[in-house]
């Protein structure tokens, strides 16, 4: 009996994927749950496993092909035996292999003991991959032998930066040195290969100079990058996006962080950052102006009385927005721990579809990259996104005097079909009030 391997449900709003890599070949025997193929979606990579034991009889879709939920990826022959699979792949019968193994057992045992004696102590990365998924993929694309790369990540794991550094070092070592040729009459000689003939006299005319190696590089867009591009264009074309700005004096929050940092770390085992303040302040402003925490569904406005806050994080393969669920019910410590966990998962490429599902409002912090001012783009179907920027000391007028204060520009992009300018401006005013008086923010929870 044959079993079809189908593209599974990929999560909310995800209906398409790209076949990234086949982990098994035709003729391989597979067990239930064993990964057959990796699918690349706009959010995360998904491994599709075998639902039955059997032999991988046929692969229907090659790597690099786009597929939809429910499409047939491969066929498994449930009745085939492991021996048949090996024979179809050109391997020796199982009986012959067994006899050979029994004959070589004494020597293999001796070699294994020798190898075991030479092995170093197990590292703390045992039990998991010593290379992050993104680094593994990059190494395959660049043709880098991952076993030769020294890992600098947690527990010695190989990261994307390690692979890039190794690849650049190899390229610099392997780069050919230009051949020196004697010049004639002060001009560089023209090679025959760079000439073309014109007319009956076969007169030599120099061809346009060829582009030097390495000046251009073509990279296939990943599924995530293509989806990000499509969604951003869709947001621009379907929503009436406007942006309003304000500035916030960060003095009070910075002083509170300085006073409470040590105690906070002892209690929660994580630093008190700025993001938890802005998550809480955003929720306070969203409660005051619920239209910013809404969604447009046809001719209806869906007001959401829960607060799932998306945190935009710059990942190696494109922006991702993991969601902090019911953030209004979380403490400052729980929010900081959630953010720390998402950042770590993003770096390791281990975010799940559940981590990215939904969201009612998004916060993006360009300040970590040095951005002073920007206009963030909506994350559909959300109708509001808050942009944070770098803190910079600037002179401001305060109580009739000019003083130097740490100031931050904030931006709210909103869908004008639902949110009016008055509400957007007042949203930022309320946000400013809560950040500049963090005691009120703490009292309101």
Output the pLDDT for position 243: 97
CATH of 133-169, one of 2.40.30.170, 3.90.1150.10, 2.40.50.140, 4.10.320.10: 4.10.320.10
Domain boundaries, the chain: 2-94, 133-169, 242-444
Instruction: Specify whether 420 is catalytic.
Output: yes
Q: Contact at 8 Å (CB) between 89 and 28?
A: yes
Give a three-class secondary structure readout of 226-283. HHHHHHHHHHHHHCCEEEEEEEEECHHHHHHHHHHHHHHHHHHCCCCCCHHHHHHHHH
Q: Which of the residues 28, 71, 194, 420 is marked catalytic? A: 420
| pLDDT by 10-residue block (mean), the chain, 445 residues | 82 71 87 85 77 86 84 84 48 45 49 46 46 76 83 74 81 60 49 47 53 76 77 87 97 94 94 95 96 94 96 83 95 95 88 87 94 93 96 94 97 96 97 92 67
- What is the C-alpha separation between 45 and 148, in angstroms, rounded? 25
Fold of the domain built from segment(s) 242-444: Chloramphenicol Acetyltransferase (3.30.559)
* pTM for the structure as a whole: 0.60
Output the pLDDT for position 199: 46
Return the CATH architecture of domain 2-94: Beta Barrel (2.40)
Would you call 260 helix, strand, or coil by DSSP? helix
Instruction: Specify whether 341 is catalytic.
Output: no
Output the pLDDT for position 85: 46
Q: Which of the residues 269, 305, 326, 416 is marked catalytic? A: 416
């Amino acid at each position: 009996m044959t079993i079809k391997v189908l593209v599974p449900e990929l999560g909310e709003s995800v209906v398409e994927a790209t076949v990234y890599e086949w982990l098994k070949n035709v003729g391989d025997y597979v067990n239930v749950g064993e990964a057959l193929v990796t699918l690349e979606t706009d959010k995360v990579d998904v491994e599709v496993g075998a639902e039955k034991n059997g032999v991988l009889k046929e692969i229907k879709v090659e790597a690099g092909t786009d597929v939809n939920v429910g499409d047939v990826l491969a066929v498994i022959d449930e009745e085939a035996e492991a021996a048949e699979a090996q024979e179809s792949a050109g391997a020796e019968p199982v009986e012959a292999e067994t006899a050979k193994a029994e004959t070589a057992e004494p020597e293999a045992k001796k070699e294994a003991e020798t190898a075991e004696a030479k092995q170093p102590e197990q590292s703390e990365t045992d039990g998991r991959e010593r290379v992050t998924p993104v680094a593994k993929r990059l190494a395959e694309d660049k043709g880098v032998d991952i076993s030769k790369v020294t890992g600098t990540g947690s527990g010695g794991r190989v990261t994307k930066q390690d692979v890039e550094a190794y690849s650049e070092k190899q390229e610099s070592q392997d780069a050919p040195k230009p051949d020196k040729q004697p010049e004639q009459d002060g001009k560089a000689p023209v090679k025959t290969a760079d000439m073309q003939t014109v007319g009956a006299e076969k007169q030599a005319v120099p061809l346009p100079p060829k582009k030097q190696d390495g000046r251009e590089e073509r990279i296939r867009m990943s599924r995530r990058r293509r989806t990000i591009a499509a969604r951003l264009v869709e947001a621009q074309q379907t929503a009436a996006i406007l942006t309003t700005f304000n500035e916030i004096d960060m003095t009070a929050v910075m002083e509170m962080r300085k006073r409470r940092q040590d105690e906070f770390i002892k209690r929660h085992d994580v630093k008190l950052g700025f993001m938890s303040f802005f998550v809480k302040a955003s929720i306070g402003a969203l409660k005051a102006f619920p239209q910013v925490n809404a969604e447009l569904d046809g001719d209806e406005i869906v007001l959401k009385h829960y607060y799932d806050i998306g945190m935009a994080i710059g990942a190696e393969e494109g922006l991702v927005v993991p969601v902090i669920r019911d953030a209004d019910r979380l403490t400052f410590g729980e929010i900081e721990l959630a953010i720390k966990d998402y950042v770590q998962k993003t770096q390791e490429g281990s975010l799940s579809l559940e981590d990215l599902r939904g969201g009612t409002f998004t916060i993006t912090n360009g300040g970590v990259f040095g951005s002073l001012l920007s206009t963030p783009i909506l994350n559909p179907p959300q109708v509001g996104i808050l942009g944070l920027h770098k803190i910079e000391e600037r002179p401001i007028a305060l109580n009739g005097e000019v003083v130097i204060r740490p100031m931050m520009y904030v931006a709210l992009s909103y869908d004008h079909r639902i949110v009016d300018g008055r509400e957007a401006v007042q949203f930022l005013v309320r946000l400013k009030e809560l950040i500049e008086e963090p005691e009120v923010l703490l009292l309101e929870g």
